[in-house]
Amino acid sequence: MNILVVDDDTIVLDSCRLVLEAEGFDVHSVPSADAALETMENQDFDLLLVDVKMPEHDGMYLMQEIKKRWPEIPIVVMSGYPTPETIADGVNMGAAKFIAKPFTPDELLEIVRQVIGKEEGLETEKSSRN
Amino acid sequence: MFSSTRSKLIISFLGVTLLVGTVSLLVGGQLLYNAVLSEANTRVRLDLNSAREIYQNRIKGVDASLNITTLGPGFRAALGRRDVAELLRRLRRLAQSANLDFAGIVTNQGKTLCRIGPHSIPAETAQIPNPMAALALKRGDAISGTVVLSDDFLDAENPELAGRARIQLLPTPRAAPRPDKEETTGMTLGAAVPVFEDGDILGVLYGGVLLNRSQEIVDRVRDTVFQQETYRGRSIGTATIFLGDIRISTNVFTPDGKRAIGTRVSSEVKGRVLDEGKNWMDRAFVVSDWYITAYEPIEDILGERVGMLYVGVLEAKYVDVRRKALSIFILLTLAGIALAIGLGYLLEDKIMEPVRRLIGASAQVSQGNLSPEIGPISRNEVGILQKTFTEMLNSLRERDRRQKAESEIRLLQSEKQASIGKLAAGVAHEINNPLTGVLTFTHMLLRRKDLGDDVHSDLQKIAHATERVRKIVKGLLDFSRQTKLDPEPVDVNRLVRSAISLVENQALVRGIRLIFEPAEELPMLTLDRAQFESVLLNLILNALDATETGDTVTLSTGISVSTNHVSHKGLEIAVTDTGCGIPPENLDNLFDPFFTTKEVGQGTGLGLAVSYGIVERHGGTIRVQSEVGRGSTFTIWLPIGELSGQK
């Protein structure tokens, strides 16, 4: 299970990597939207964790690009400024879930599992149809 | 112009003055005139009596002089001898001393024996009947009185007398028509006294004065009765002797200054006095003027009405009295009018000056000056108005001051919120990233079983502290969030009940009574239900925190007016506790962010600040009343009628 974490703050990248790797996920982390797109050209991911506020291209831009090119990859949006507007924007862009910073390891895992579980359910559905 | 108070005042004064003036003029003038006229009438009546006395006295004078003459022995002897020369001498003496115009002796056969005058001894063929002597002979006694004599008789006595008696009639307005142009008979005062000798009549002595053109009697009346009183160069009193209706002896003058002999009396007077034999007492038109007059008939020795006696006073004098009085009344009225205008002007000035100042002051107030000059306080009803006005101004100023203070506080509060909001948003965002690290790494460390208990315990403390930081930052974010309202129609009573249901258990556990007193029939308000519920919860929880076991927290709803705009109706939600109360020094900071009186870790100091922001964005206010040791009341006021939450 490959997860790509995108955030300009290394402490967030480190935190996510620590928690998710402990649970057995393969975690790649990049510090910007452009780096994320570059990475995704070369590698497949099952889930993206994207921060909203980043210098240069922000999380919203990144989601837009991903939805164009890899629309099937689920995205979890992270924000340190969880206003209803931000959450609504994320959901409108096609985010699967929203998680407010700061979060505990349990809270992060809970969200991730929910999203992956849903995706797996869909996968199962798809395969059974096939 | 006529609606101004000044005009009204002046017009009222003028009305009164004119009314009084007119009534004085009409009633007073008439009363005065009547009084003067009645006095004048009385005077003329008395004057007529005096004139009659003078007239009668003249007759008596003639009578007496003849009587005395007949008693003289020399005269009797001469008569007995028919001594004409001696008789004539005595007759002439008598005529001279008694001022007689004619005198003579008639024999007992009725023939004229002799007379003064040119034809002193008449011829047998030139005998003229003597009416006076004839009557005396017939009666055998002396007679005297008025006698009208023919021009033949007068001519015989003395042609000069006949000439004096002849009077040309002058055309007179108002006189009765008369065919003849001339009066030739003479009116005389005469007497005839028979002279007796041994019971037989020797003869009759007669004599008299001709009144025609004689002014003796009338001038004496004027001089004694009216004492030559004059009015504008004319004698006030006049007297006249009429023969029939002709003035034969008078001191009434025609306009050209001659005595009015030959003019005639008005037909009206003639009819009443001569024809009916009654007296005339009234104003009458005499020759060319109005007089207040009295006429009475004159009867001759046979008792026939042959003429009239008249006295009169010039009416002009009395009319003048009335005119003078009327002039004075008019002058008084004019003075009254001037006084009324002046007084009205002054009074209006005095009465209206403070009112005008008040009007000016009102205009200033309407332009925003709440401290206008209203002048000294009057001591009348206007003064009450001025005092009330001043009181009104005071309360206006007080309200203005309070509103300014309140809006200053509100502005300050808004500025505080805005700046702190921005700060909070920035800080929160920046803090959340490192906080994620702290939380993650602490929790990951806590999962390790290889660490000692003391390390584990320390990590727990770090985790708790971080949770606290997380809550504070969340509160800050909530506070800074200028989220749009999501208004919907809300039944406030139901909203309060739902908020209460969320905290009921807490209250129960802490032994605090939670009471709700809803008002009936409240209108629906348009509110953000979720945000408003959080406001209510915040207030109720604060109240619960401020109270001890056994205390009461009461919620109530009701209708009231705004403290800022009296005309603005609103709905109130009050949360009252019987807890510890808030010290006055804390009241001012109550709604400031991060202001808290709770113990460290118990409150973020953001709850009331957030609530304040929400209520304000609904167009409402929150106010606090508190007394230390007695409790506090937080009152939310929300406007009715307009859509709340437009800001």
| Closest residue in chain B to residue A21, using alpha carbons only | B444
Residue B310, SS3? strand
The sign of the CA dihedral B469, B471, B475, B478 is positive
Residue B545 Cα, gap to closest chain A Cα (Å):
29
Read off the pLDDT of residues B272-306 as tens digits, 9 standing for 90 and up. 999 999 999 888 877 778 888 999 999 999 999 99
Q: What is the DSSP string of A12-40?
A: HHHHHHHHHHHTT-EEEEESSHHHHHHHH
Q: What is the DSSP string of A40-98?
A: HHH---SEEEEES--SSS-HHHHHHHHHHH-TTS-EEEEESS--HHHHHHHHHHT-SEE
DSSP B563: S
Give the DSSP H or E segment for B208.
Answer: strand B200-210
**Residue B481 has what pLDDT?**
64
Beta strand A2-6 with A26-30 is: parallel
Note whether B481 contacts A83, CB cutoff 8 Å. yes
Q: Please count the other Cβ atoms lying within 10 Å of the Cβ belonging to residue B76.
A: 17
Note whether B437 contacts A15, CB cutoff 8 Å. yes
Question: In degrees rounded to 5, what are phi and psi of residue B484?
Answer: -65, 145
Residue A71 Cα, gap to closest chain B Cα (Å):
28
Note whether B429 contacts A80, CB cutoff 8 Å. yes
Chain mean pLDDT for chain A? 86
Residues of A with a Cβ under 8 Å from any B Cβ are 7, 9, 11-12, 14-16, 18-19, 22, 53, 80-85, 100-106, 108
Residue B618, SS3? coil
Distance CA(B591)–CA(B617), nearest Å, equals 15
- For residues B529-536, average pLDDT: 86
Distance CA(B548)–CA(A95), nearest Å, equals 48
Which residue in B433, B435, B440 is closest to A105 by CB distance? B440
List the B305-314 sheet strands across, edge first: B246-250, B237-243, B305-314, B289-299, B280-286
Note whether A83 contacts B483, CB cutoff 8 Å. yes
Which residue in A12, A22, A82 is closest to B444 by CB distance? A22
Name beta bridge partners: B134: none
**Helices and strands: H and E segment counts in chain B:** 16, 21
Gap between the terminal Cα atoms of chain A:
23
Nearest C-alpha neighbor of B183 from the set B102, B256, B109, B242 = B242
Angle, CA B156 vertex, CA B152 and CA B161 arms, to 5°:
85
Name beta bridge partners: B297: B308
Distance CA(B575)–CA(B625), nearest Å, equals 11
Read off the pLDDT of residues B379-420 as tens digits, 9 standing for 90 and up. 888 888 888 888 988 998 888 888 888 777 766 766 766 677
CB distance B36 to B321 below 8 Å? yes
Residue A122 Cα, gap to closest chain B Cα (Å):
30
Residue A13 Cα, gap to closest chain B Cα (Å):
9
**Residue B240 has what pLDDT?**
94
Note whether B466 contacts A14, CB cutoff 8 Å. no
**Residue B643 has what pLDDT?**
43
**Residue B644 has what pLDDT?**
42
Read off the pLDDT of residues B234-279 as tens digits, 9 standing for 90 and up. 778 899 999 999 999 998 888 888 888 999 998 889 999 999 999 9
Residue type for position B279: N
Read off the pLDDT of residues B319-346 as tens digits, 9 standing for 90 and up. 787 788 888 888 988 898 898 888 888 8
CB distance B489 to B496 below 8 Å? no
Note whether A84 contacts B483, CB cutoff 8 Å. yes
Task: Name which of A113-127, B389-403, B558-572 the model is least confident about.
Answer: A113-127
Count how many pairs of residues, chain A against chain B, have C-beta atoms within 8 Å.
68
Set of chain A residues whose Cβ sits within 8 Å of the Cβ of B431: 80
**Residue B567 has what pLDDT?**
65
Note whether A103 contacts B429, CB cutoff 8 Å. no
Note whether A15 contacts B477, CB cutoff 8 Å. no
Selection from B112-116, B234-238, B325-329, B640-644 with the highest mean pLDDT: B112-116
Chain mean pLDDT for chain B? 86
Read off the pLDDT of residues B18-49 as tens digits, 9 standing for 90 and up. 888 888 888 887 888 788 888 888 888 899 99
Angle formed by the axes of helices A84-93 and A59-69, nearest 10°: 20
- Comparison of pLDDT for B57 and B485, the residue scoring more: B57
Q: Is the pLDDT of residue B646 over 50?
A: no
Name beta bridge partners: B210: B188
Distance CA(B296)–CA(B315), nearest Å, equals 19
Can you give B362-397 as a three-state secondary structure string? HHHHHCCCCCCCCCCCCCCHHHHHHHHHHHHHHHHH
Angle, CA A53 vertex, CA A52 and CA A55 arms, to 5°:
130
